[in-house]
Amino acid sequence: MPESIKDKVAILGVGCTKFGENFDQSFEDLVVDAAYAAFADARIEPERVEAAWLGTFSPYAGHGKASVSLADALRLYGKPISRVENYCATGTDAFRNAAMAVASGMHDVVLVLGAEKLRDRPIRGLSWEGGHPYQHDGLTAPGVFALAANRYFYRFGGGREALAKVAVKNHHNGSLNPKAHFQMEVSEEQVLEAPIVAWPFGLFDCCPTTDGAAAAILCRADMARQFRDDYVLVKGLGLAVTSGRPWYDPTFEYVGFTATQAAAKQAYTMAGVRDPCKEIDLAEVHDCFTWTEISNYEDLGFCRKGEGAHFIAEGRSKLEGDLPVNPSGGLKSFGHPIGASGVRMIYEVVTQLRAEAGPRQVRDAELGLVHNLGGPGAVACVVILGNQ
Amino acid sequence: MSGITGYSVYIPRHRLSREAIAAAWATKAPSGSKAVAHFDEDSLTLGHAAAAPLASGVEALYFASTTAPYWQRSAASLIAACCDLPAEVATADFGGSLRCGATALRAALDTGKRAVVVASDTRQGAPESAEEMLFGDAAAAIAVGPDPGIAELVAAVSRSDDFPDEWRRDTDAYVQSFTSKFSTARGYEANVVAAGRALLEQAGLEPARIARVALVSPDGRAHLGAALALGIPAGRIEDPRLADVGITGAAMPLLLLAQALDRASAGDYILVIGYGDGADAMLFRAVRNGDRRLAPDPHGIPYPSYQIYRKLRDYLRLRVGGAEVSNVLWEREETQNVRLHGTRCPRCGLVQFPIARVCSACRNAEGLVEQPLARRGRVFTFTKDFLYEAPIQPTVMAVVDLDGGGRFLCQMTDVDAGGVEIGMEVELVLRRMRESAASHHYYWKCRRI
């Protein structure tokens, strides 16, 4: 029986930049802003950091490739730094690696930082470096998830109306969040009438292309009280990988993501969560596209497969619902700078557990879940955080 | 005795009406439409589509075109690989003259081997020219060999004549010509009539014995005069398909021959004559009734305007970019990407693509067997993508469950996006994907059956 990480690692502090089209900020600006916000929140000097993990997905213009991007931005030299890349689950996987290093006793205080400067690039959407030169020609990020959404609707019925409810909810939550990329409400009609990007996804079903960075300072749980009383504890971690080319896998049903199901199971077991819908107080999940959030409800065990549309329609994932999902506004509204997103979700859950979320505060938040999903639903990371 | 063992025609699905061309140039239109290669088609892909149904087990594959995509790289060899033929197949590329399709057919018959001869052309007329109105795109393939089940070769003649009536230099994008009565009389008519007469004499046949004539036509009219001069009654002349396909260059003699074979009755004599810098003529006798399956395609998709046609014609040429594919990767993945092989698990029977070392279903890693995949299947799921940069939106991406196993991802082409459904039957077709600085890139797409 493997040892659980539960209660061995504490989050001392978190930091996050404003997400959006940060045209006046460089990659280094984002890194410095997020890191120093986290240092201040954790009440530590930068020198206290013994090791660091950088999460970036897509290097560009000399930034984001290897550990040096973090070392140079912070002038953090002579220490162990690793760059983590694991598709869109990059941020949470960087966090996971840092947490394991602390739990092992190898380091006392470490930094995790995710950053991405997508809007510097001359292209729309995401580029896919290292892809096959022609096997996937025609496939875009929304297209990848649309393949699953269309099969899902074929199996379980429903359609764009269910998706629109996710967009409306997450835009509402984002409108309460001063750091979100979008801070405006949208109506169901607006969502349904928007131009189609990749059927069944219209413009408001897709997360934006965003700049941003987020950071967290972790330390051994048994020394956390030296820094602050209201630290947050890591209760469970899970990471699961399935096929990065599900379109070739004849055994894949294409109605949800087994990677999420497996990662959630790992994390729930470690955290001792038996009934996630009852025990989890809030969740930040990977809503890269509105349908992904619906599938996440099911894959994370909040409801049964095929019932995600009811879960949103009944308002259960709203801020005032019994399991608020994406109180931050989610990727949909907060934005999705790939490598930053997972760490940003951790920032949000920590903020909620410390009851510092202002108008979007979830009542009585004690146990929060973070879920990151990468590639074509192939890499899932689940982190469960809790108050002491 | 060698002869014909099979025939196949591929006419691209898209059409451009001559009225649309005339509207663009504010001129008068001849009637009808021409068949046009879609933006992702060229002479090689048209040729593959025509040859593939006949290619199984052949010893030779000949490709003939005046518009081959490479000056130096054999279209015949690439088509042979796409048809999954072994390295021992004899391939040859014919070009240089408009009669190369007929020349290739004669050459294949001369070898006595089991061969497929495919002729394909996508000739471009200069904007606002008569050729632009006339030229259409098509490919046709004839399978030949000993023990012909369809028609046996009775006689064959060739003529060489260096007469400049129509030509294209290595530097020309468009055909050059002297269009005049003199050109038609001295070039086309003189050669096809002489070749036809020589052939009848060789066979010892009166013209009235000829049941069907597959006579190429430079303009949809001149062939009538030539047939009259040969003494062949008008009712026996194959329609050159000017009205719905166009003047199809190197493909034309084989296209018309396939048409004649399709409608022949056992015992019919069929004459085929190709013209260009001389002539190649062959006389066949049908040994069985034709299948009567080559009905004109009623499903042509009209381009909405001439402007759309121009945009699509130029799209790949004007969008050069992306990485070259190293010949190391090309070679290692050839059986998979070009020959469409996958892997079958001997333990659980799962068939998968791409070629795998470990089974996706049972994780067995022992003795997985490479095998060719079926090129037909059903749509498992799909999307209609407006983000992907393409000349026509949306781009339909489909996950296809292939008959007999294996799941494949590809674009859908020749498609009305509104009609795409899960469960729809599709076939895999070779298409041109993109242009890099040094190469054309071909891969598989699917289209509705």
The whole-number pLDDT of residue A1 equals 59
DSSP secondary structure, B331-371, as one string = HHTIIIIIS-EEEE-TTT--EESS--SS-TTT---S--EEE
Q: Please name the residue that has the structure tokens 């369809």.
A: B150
B376 interfaces chain A, CB cutoff of 8 Å:
no
A135 interfaces chain B, CB cutoff of 8 Å:
yes
d(CA A270, CA B324): 48
B358 interfaces chain A, CB cutoff of 8 Å:
no
State the distance between the two ends of chain B, measured CA to CA, in whole angstroms: 37
Cα angle A138, A144, A150; round to 5: 110
Chain A nearest C-alpha distance from B412 (Å) = 10
Q: Model confidence over A251-282: pLDDT tens digits?
A: 999 999 999 999 999 999 999 999 999 999 99
Helix count and strand count (H, E) for chain B:
11, 22
B315 interfaces chain A, CB cutoff of 8 Å:
no
The whole-number pLDDT of residue B101 equals 98
Q: Is residue B104 packed enough to be buried (19+ CB in 10 Å), middle (13-18) or exposed (0-12)?
A: buried
Chain A nearest C-alpha distance from B95 (Å) = 29
B386 interfaces chain A, CB cutoff of 8 Å:
yes
Cα angle A147, A148, A151; round to 5: 90
Q: Which CATH architecture has domain A141-206+233-386?
A: 3-Layer(aba) Sandwich (3.40)
For an interface test with B, which of A126, A132, A150, A253 has the most B Cβ atoms less than 10 Å from its Cβ?
Answer: A150
Nearest to B382 among A150, A245, A251 (CB): A150
Q: Model confidence over A337-352: pLDDT tens digits?
A: 999 999 999 999 999 9
The whole-number pLDDT of residue A130 equals 78
Tokens of A10: 């504490």
Q: What is this model's ipTM?
A: 0.95
Q: For chains A and B, count residue pairs whose Cβ atoms are closer than 8 Å.
A: 109
Find the residue in B nearest to A196 (Cα): B386
Q: Which residues pair with B407 in a beta bridge?
A: B401
Q: Model confidence over A120-172: pLDDT tens digits?
A: 988 877 777 778 888 999 999 999 999 999 999 999 999 999 999 999 999 99
A114, A90 contact by CB (below 8 A) = yes
- Chain A hits for B388, Cβ within 8 Å: 138-140, 143
- Chain A hits for B416, Cβ within 8 Å: none
Domain ranges in chain B are 2-318, 334-448
Q: Please report the sign of the dihedral spanned by the C-alpha atoms of residue A34, residue A40, residue A41, residue A42.
A: positive
Q: Which residues pair with B409 in a beta bridge?
A: B399
Read off the pLDDT of each residue in A309-326 and give the average, rounded to a whole number.
97
Tokens of A294: 């619906």
Residues 6+ apart with CB under 8 A from B318: none
Pick one of 3.30.390.30, 3.20.20.140, 3.40.950.10, 3.40.47.10 as the CATH number of A9-123+211-226: 3.40.47.10
Chain B nearest C-alpha distance from A75 (Å) = 36
The whole-number pLDDT of residue B298 equals 67
Closest CA to A197 of B411, B383, B386, B391: B386
- Chain A hits for B410, Cβ within 8 Å: 138
Cis peptide, bond prior to residue A250, ω within 30 of zero = no
Cα separations (Å) of B396 from A252, B381, B414? 20, 10, 10
Q: Is domain B334-448 annotated with CATH 2.40.10.10?
A: no
Chain B nearest C-alpha distance from A150 (Å) = 7
pLDDT in tens, chain B (449 residues): 799 999 999 999 999 999 999 999 999 988 999 999 999 999 999 999 999 999 999 999 999 999 999 999 999 999 999 999 999 999 999 999 999 999 999 999 999 999 999 999 999 999 999 999 999 999 999 999 999 999 999 999 999 999 999 999 999 999 999 988 999 999 999 999 999 999 999 999 999 999 999 999 999 999 999 999 999 998 999 999 999 999 999 999 999 999 999 999 999 999 999 999 999 999 999 999 998 988 777 678 999 999 999 999 999 988 998 888 999 999 999 999 999 999 999 999 999 999 999 999 999 999 999 999 999 999 999 999 999 999 999 999 999 999 999 999 999 999 988 899 999 999 999 999 999 999 999 999 999 99
Quote the distance between the C-alpha of residue B100 and its chain's center: 14
Between residues 198 and 217 of chain A, which touch chain B (CB distance below 8 Å)? 198-199
B10 interfaces chain A, CB cutoff of 8 Å:
no
**Fold of domain B2-318:** Peroxisomal Thiolase; Chain A, domain 1 (3.40.47)
- Chain B hits for A136, Cβ within 8 Å: 409
Active-site residues of A: which are they?
88, 336
Closest CA to B121 of B214, B221, B47: B47
E strand or H helix that includes residue A295 = helix A290-299
Tokens of A152: 């899902």
A124 interfaces chain B, CB cutoff of 8 Å:
yes
Find the residue in A nearest to B418 (Cα): A199
DSSP secondary structure, B274-294, as one string = EESSEEEEEEEEESS------
Q: Please report the sign of the dihedral spanned by the C-alpha atoms of residue A21, residue A22, residue A27, residue A30.
A: negative
Cβ distance B394 to A138 less than 8 Å, yes or no, reads no
Nearest to B360 among A195, A199, A251 (CB): A251
Chain B nearest C-alpha distance from A386 (Å) = 38
B395 interfaces chain A, CB cutoff of 8 Å:
yes
B361 interfaces chain A, CB cutoff of 8 Å:
yes
A66 interfaces chain B, CB cutoff of 8 Å:
no
Tokens of B330: 């090309």
A282-284 and A232-241 beta bridge pairing = unpaired
Residue B188, φ and ψ in degrees, nearest 5: -60, -60
A146 interfaces chain B, CB cutoff of 8 Å:
yes
DSSP secondary structure, A35-89, as one string = HHHHHHHHT--GGG--EEEEE-S--BTTBSSSTHHHHHHHT--SS-EEEE-BTBT
- Chain A hits for B323, Cβ within 8 Å: 133
A342, A93 contact by CB (below 8 A) = yes
pLDDT, averaged across chain A:
96
For an interface test with B, which of A247, A289, A295 has the most B Cβ atoms less than 10 Å from its Cβ?
Answer: A247
Between residues 357 and 376 of chain A, which touch chain B (CB distance below 8 Å)? none
Q: Model confidence over A84-124: pLDDT tens digits?
A: 999 999 999 999 999 999 999 999 999 999 999 999 988 87
Cβ distance B387 to A198 less than 8 Å, yes or no, reads yes
Overall size of chain A counted in residues: 388
B90-94 and B60-64 beta bridge pairing = parallel
Nearest to B434 among A137, A148, A199 (CB): A137
A271, A236 contact by CB (below 8 A) = yes
Chain B nearest C-alpha distance from A11 (Å) = 39
d(CA A112, CA A343): 8
Cβ distance B422 to A150 less than 8 Å, yes or no, reads yes
Domain ranges in chain A are 9-123+211-226, 141-206+233-386
3-state secondary structure (DSSP) of residue B109 = helix
Q: Model confidence over A31-51: pLDDT tens digits?
A: 999 999 999 999 999 999 999
Cβ distance B383 to A198 less than 8 Å, yes or no, reads yes
Chain B nearest C-alpha distance from A245 (Å) = 9
Between residues 120 and 149 of chain B, which touch chain A (CB distance below 8 Å)? none
Q: Which residues pair with A73 in a beta bridge?
A: none
pLDDT grade for A368, boundaries at 50, 70 and 90: very high
d(CA B55, CA B6): 10
Chain B nearest C-alpha distance from A343 (Å) = 28
Cβ distance A250 to B401 less than 8 Å, yes or no, reads yes
Chain B nearest C-alpha distance from A20 (Å) = 21
Residue B152 one-letter amino acid = E
3-state secondary structure (DSSP) of residue A233 = strand
Nearest to B383 among A125, A133, A146 (CB): A146
Cβ distance B385 to A146 less than 8 Å, yes or no, reads yes
Between residues 408 and 437 of chain B, which touch chain A (CB distance below 8 Å)? 408-411, 422, 433-434
Nearest to A198 among B350, B386, B441 (CB): B386
- Chain B hits for A148, Cβ within 8 Å: 381
B391 interfaces chain A, CB cutoff of 8 Å:
no
B401 interfaces chain A, CB cutoff of 8 Å:
yes
A326, A170 contact by CB (below 8 A) = yes
Quote the distance between the C-alpha of residue A83 and its chain's center: 17
The whole-number pLDDT of residue B180 equals 87
Please tell me chain B's helix, strand, coil percentages from 3-state DSSP, rounded to the nearest 5: 30, 30, 40
3-state secondary structure (DSSP) of residue B24 = helix
B385 interfaces chain A, CB cutoff of 8 Å:
yes
d(CA B351, CA B344): 4
Cβ distance B422 to A135 less than 8 Å, yes or no, reads no
The whole-number pLDDT of residue A247 equals 97
DSSP secondary structure, A109-171, as one string = EEEEEEEEEGGGSSSSS---TT--SSTTTT--HHHHHHHHHHHHHHHH---HHHHHHHHHHHH
The whole-number pLDDT of residue B321 equals 84
